[in-house]
Structure 1
Amino acid sequence: IGLGIAALWQIFSKKINHVLTASALTVLGLLAVPYVMAKQNWNDHDRSDRYTPRDFAKNYLESCDKNAILFTNGDNDTFPLWYAQEVEGIRTDVRVVNLSLLNTDWYIEQIKYRAYDSDPVPISFTYDQIAGERRVYCPIIEQIKKPYNIADIIEFVKSDAPEAKVPVSNTESINYIPTRNFLFPIDSAAVLQSKLIKTEQASKMEKEMVWSVKKNYIFKSELAILDIMNQTKWKRPIYFAITVGDAYLNMEDYFRLDGLTYRLTPIKSDNFDGQTGWIDTDILYDKLMNKFVWGNIDKENVYLDENNLRMTMNFRNVFARLANALLREGKRDSAVKVLDHCMQVMPEKTVPYNVFVLGIIEAYFKAGESKKALDIFQGMRKMTEQELNYFLSLDTKKAQTLSFEARRSMTVYNELARIARTYSQEKLAKELDDQMKIFYEKFVTQFPQEATNASGMEE
């Protein structure tokens, strides 16, 4: 308001008596400036009828089996879940463990106790072993090439013996890990008793989990993950939120996509689509179609900010992956229902198209629903062409700040052309190929630093 009054004073002070101006501008500023601010910014601050934090939190929790341990990382995949449990009483049997806090001694001690309806989190480290700066991180110094049981790794890291430590200064030594190749035995009886997998999937079960850690250190939170795995020994469900990312410890080959979470399983992923986690279509179908709720994101009067829209990318990707998995199993009708439901709860009018609708388009084509595929295809094409026309119209200086976005749009347009060719839309494919040549010529001139990376786009 103060800045608004200053601006009005500068405009009117030369034309009107100063005393009158001061009085008038005070009244005008107190009324007009807040009005303009409200008018211009109301939609950005209007959260009415939007229940995405609560509903998306419910979806995280409903992605978990009973008495699960769910590892989360950021604010948006942690605090709404705690609200849902504490205030709304939703899935209080799930223990939400925040990995950022898991680097602290007090939090590790806290989760050792029962909370709501969830059992204590089993951790064998004593307070003295993890207090303060102790074992904040352990470097990996590879001395053993063969896979090492994580139970033995934990005991080695706990040791205060000189041979279990390496010097980091003249006065200090810290624990280290002598291998980057980890092994976790699989108790098949415990797995089947917990109903982690179906009886008919037992033949796919590995005898042990074996994986390598690529980085050169392990944080305290990651030690805790390994310890929890070793303590539960497949008797309690362990999940990671799909938004955790770097904290997976390279165990993704053993993940199953269960909605907004990945569940640790004894089955190695077949990796049909090149993404993280294998899919049990019965489990994922039930969650997406029957248990998940959507917070009114399909309502036109509900404002969705960038955090909400970013989350819808994950949802669209999960829907597309489930549909493709169903198609591989010959369940066409179920796949179409999944795709239709996706477009119903996240329509283009409220959730603008993004790169993840490409998977929806292709799945519709695979299911023989060409009309539905083409409707979305043309909408995505129009949006991408508008983006590229804008990026390629900018002067060189402004264009350089948007090189990533421009390249992404070029990649999307190229993918649209590929989809058209793959599914015998020859006329459409030719239109896109011809337009792509025009875009490409402008692109390599406007973004010369991207020309090498984009060299295959014009083909």
Structure 2
Amino acid sequence: SVVGSFYVFALWIGIGVYAIYDWLSTYSKSKLIAPAISLLCLAAVPGILISQNWDDHDRSNRRTAHAMAVNYLESCDPNAIIFTIGDNDTFPLWYAQEIEGIRTDVRVVCTSLFNVDWYIDQMKRKAYESEPIPSKLTHDKYKWGTRDYIIKEVVTKDTLDIDQFIDFVTSDDKRTKYGHVLKQQGYDTAGQRNQDLGANYAPTEHVRIPVNKENVLRNGIVPLKYAAKIVDYIDIKIEDQAIYKNRLMMLDIIAENNWERPIYFSGGAFGDDDYIWMKDYLQLDGFAYKLVPIKTPIADNNPFDMGRIDSEKMYQLVKNWKWGNSGNLDVYHDVETRRNSITYRGHIARLIETLINENELEKAEEIADLAMEKMPVDIFGYYTFLEPFIGAYYEVKAKEKARNLYKNVTLKYQESLTYYSRVSERNQSKYIQTIYSDIERYKSLVDTISLYEEEGFIKIEMEKFNGFLRLFTGEDPETSFESDDTEGSNTMP
């Protein structure tokens, strides 16, 4: 269909050129009109397209994808293994390693490919400076069509050691097959597929991963200063109804590694199985999440803030991040580049919060300044993720910086609300969620400054907010701004 549309478009171009020729022919019978018109259109059409679209497509000097790939690799300790999810967090890392030879000691394992036998075989071979993945499963255990998924059929609430669990689900003994357990439970298996009956099953959803503390400390998985926080074991609960081959292979690596090599996750997803059900045992190092035997439960009210932070290590990593000209105002930053700022800002905000809690105020301000320099407000958008930086500047006693950032961000909401207030009610109803979100985020900023600013400044900003709120609600300015007990109660047509 796409090719067909180009054919039709080309026909219209030809008709348009002929129409110009036909019109000019009424004024002149010169034989040069046809070639002249053809040459003029040949130059004018692409010329117009270039003049209108070049600045929106110019990728010169934009190195943000490359910088992000390097940051992922440099986040990993030597001889590490990093599990990636798919294209976006894998291909740039492959480029950095294969073409530029950056951190070839890190083994990149793409979990989307970890379902196929040829890729698993590839991971079991040494590559550059990276040793093969630790794995005891032989090719016949994971070959094509074998153990593509393992059904969870809970027959015991006991917790199995990870080695016992893997031995059971990869065993060829008939007693470990799904058909056997169904017969033991009295089910009629006549209607079941042979491939299901002959497949292995997981007899429990509880698996225990022992922690070799000596290996953890010797290999620098956890520094000595945190030795008291190391747990004796990690218990995981497999919530899913089946274990797919890529998760089985990841568990195999965990079991065989025995805390010898650092293991990381790219953080490209938030499913429990993407972290092999160990999201409570992560540490954010730069861009990657490191598996550590220190329990850090995820807060129910903020499920995206995964893992603990070693502020000393994280600070050094962030200070050495590559930015790929992201702060260059002369470079066009496309949608994907701007969207990646969510990751940058989120990680940096967490580091700043940790530094403030540890009373490292100078470092916190330094990192906040770095974020503002490399990701200017006017270019990168996503203003919601700037709210923590406003509060952070107030916390480190940088009031002017806090005020300037507050004014820059509120200006964006003011411009947006002004625009939507001038469109028809019909169009307002189409964008009601955007309007409501802008008002809520604007109000959240006013709430933030009310914790730190003097009364006069707060009153002025409240009045400004009320003025924009009344564009949609018609409420009296003296009553439209309420305390926290009415937050979120604003209504709009």
TM-score by length of 2: 0.83
Match of 1:245 among 270, 273, 281: 270
Number of aligned residue pairs:
448
Match of 1:324 among 346, 353, 374: 353
**Aligned partner of residue 324 in structure 1, secondary structure:** helix
Aligned counterparts, 1:132-143, within 5 A = 132-143=144-155
Aligned counterparts, 1:143-158, within 5 A = 143-158=155-170
Q: Could you tell which deviates more after superposition, 186-195 or 382-391?
A: 382-391
Q: Could you tell which deviates more after superposition, 265-274 or 337-346?
A: 265-274
Q: Could you tell which deviates more after superposition, 258-267 or 46-55?
A: 46-55
Q: Give unmatched runs, 5+ long, in structure 1.
A: 443-453
Paired residues of 1:8 and 1:25 also in contact (CA < 8 A): no
Corresponding residue of 1:451: none
Match of 2:473 among 431, 434, 441: 441
Match of 1:116 among 104, 124, 128: 128
Corresponding residue of 1:87: 99
Corresponding residue of 2:13: 5
Q: 1:438 is aligned with what amino acid?
A: R
Corresponding residue of 2:192: 169
Q: 1:343 is aligned with what amino acid?
A: M
Paired residues of 1:297 and 1:304 also in contact (CA < 8 A): yes
Paired residues of 1:256 and 1:279 also in contact (CA < 8 A): yes
Paired residues of 1:414 and 1:436 also in contact (CA < 8 A): no
Corresponding residue of 2:294: 267
1:267 deviation in Å? Answer: 0.5
1:141 deviation in Å? Answer: 2.6
CA distance 1:63–1:32, change in 2 (3 Å): same
Match of 1:57 among 66, 69, 94: 69
Q: 2:291 is aligned with what amino acid?
A: L
**Aligned partner of residue 231 in structure 1, secondary structure:** helix
Q: 1:414 is aligned with what amino acid?
A: K
CA distance 1:6–1:376, change in 2 (3 Å): farther
1:276 deviation in Å? Answer: 0.7
Deviation per CA, 1:112-159: give whole Å up to 9, x if none. 011111111112222122111222222323333343322222112102
1:203 deviation in Å? Answer: 1.2
Q: 1:93 is aligned with what amino acid?
A: D
Corresponding residue of 1:283: 313
Corresponding residue of 1:388: 417
Corresponding residue of 2:216: 191
RMSD (Å) for aligned C-alpha atoms: 2.8
State the alpha-carbon separation in 2 of the partners of residues 207 and 82 from structure 1: 35
State the alpha-carbon separation in 2 of the partners of residues 304 and 163 from structure 1: 58
Deviation per CA, 1:273-316: give whole Å up to 9, x if none. 94111000011000001x21110111111111111111111111
State the alpha-carbon separation in 2 of the partners of residues 130 and 11 from structure 1: 66
Corresponding residue of 1:366: 395
Corresponding residue of 2:481: none
Corresponding residue of 2:251: 226
Corresponding residue of 2:183: none
State the alpha-carbon separation in 2 of the partners of residues 436 and 213 from structure 1: 49
1:219 deviation in Å? Answer: 1.6
State the alpha-carbon separation in 2 of the partners of residues 94 and 22 from structure 1: 63
1:331 deviation in Å? Answer: 0.8
**Identity within the alignment, %:** 34
1:375 deviation in Å? Answer: 1.0
State the alpha-carbon separation in 2 of the partners of residues 303 and 6 from structure 1: 34
Paired residues of 2:440 and 2:488 also in contact (CA < 8 A): no
Paired residues of 1:271 and 1:278 also in contact (CA < 8 A): no
TM-score by length of 1: 0.89
**Aligned partner of residue 415 in structure 2, secondary structure:** helix
1:17 deviation in Å? Answer: 2.5
**Aligned partner of residue 450 in structure 2, secondary structure:** helix
CA distance 1:457–1:359, change in 2 (3 Å): farther
Deviation per CA, 1:395-416: give whole Å up to 9, x if none. 5665566555445434422321
CA distance 1:145–1:423, change in 2 (3 Å): farther
Q: Give unmatched runs, 5+ long, in structure 2.
A: 1-8, 180-190, 475-485
Corresponding residue of 2:459: 427
State the alpha-carbon separation in 1 of the partners of residues 435 and 208 from structure 2: 43
